[in-house]
Structure 1
Amino acid sequence: MCVFLLAGRKLYMLVFLSFGLLCMLQAALNISLRLSLCDCKNLTDNADELKKRVNHYAQLGWEYSHPSFYYISKEMKSWQDSRNYCQQNGADLIIINSLKEQLFTGLFRKIAWIGLTKIDNAWEWVDGTPLTESYWGPGEPNNLTESTKEYCVETRFFEKERSWNDIPCETKNVWICEKTVRL
């Protein structure tokens, strides 16, 4: 009889431990599922917020191309006045970071200011980063002397990949503002 009691205790202990392990596994799965659902809700919330922003800025004349909004002006101003306009609207002149973005500027079919300027004999973007990838037109930049003062850059649409031109900053042009989306 003693043997049966010992065997019964071991069986109960085994059932108790198994049940405990199953409870811990269930708790871990519940937590994992809850975190997954939270991530899905956050993604849905972010998508909804992005849709609202796209609709809002579209009504104001901005275009969306991941990950930024772009505004092409209808009026013409100097490079600095164009930049001031962008900054007053929470943006800056466009910084062209990729061939995709360069090709995107050609879709506007305008000669427009971009956020590139010459500072201390080096080309620099409006965010302070140096120029590393460029799309200069043939023979450009061509007037880097002090007498010509072609310190600002416009993009043209004649040649999609080679369209930049350095010109005096006082020239009147339309411009492209860029507002990066952060959710």
Structure 2
Amino acid sequence: MIAISDKELEYFLSHCLEKRFKKNEILSKPLITPNEIFFIQKGMIRVLITDEEGVEHTIHFAQENQFIADYSAFMLKRPSVYSLQTLEDTFVIVMPKSIIEWGYQELQEGDKLGRLIAEYYFIYQDTPIKNMFALTPKERYDSITEVFPNIHNRVPQHMIASYWGITPVHLSRLKNQRK
């Protein structure tokens, strides 16, 4: 994403943590102000929100080579509304807010990195919203593997249905139409 010297990279990474999470572990919970961003090296994470009746709604998925956090809460220093849950054994780099702020100040292209991450986050949030209203359920089903390759083998179908705002039965019908 940016040009970075070996010395800068070494310092940055020395302040990050490598962490493994087992399937179904929670990385971040609602009502807690997030203080880190995760970079996924291996695995898949679901972003979800639980409504007042206790029903979980999948907001997004993140997989290898993607950043994930409740970025708005992270930036505004407010409690999160989302949970982040692993969907398989997952290996992440945990980047604390302090090292990210150091990067903005000290990396030669730190501001550029921050801008690129913010742009990525905007696209990450905007695309599913746009697709929800611009594409038919079948078109959304057909396009999901472009964004998340092999998702149907990695994620339970009811979570994919929740992500698209359809019932698992409707998702099953869409899958059968493709055969």
TM-score, scaled relative to structure 2: 0.25
TM-score, scaled relative to structure 1: 0.25
Which has a greater percent of helix? 2
> Rg larger in 1 or in 2?
1
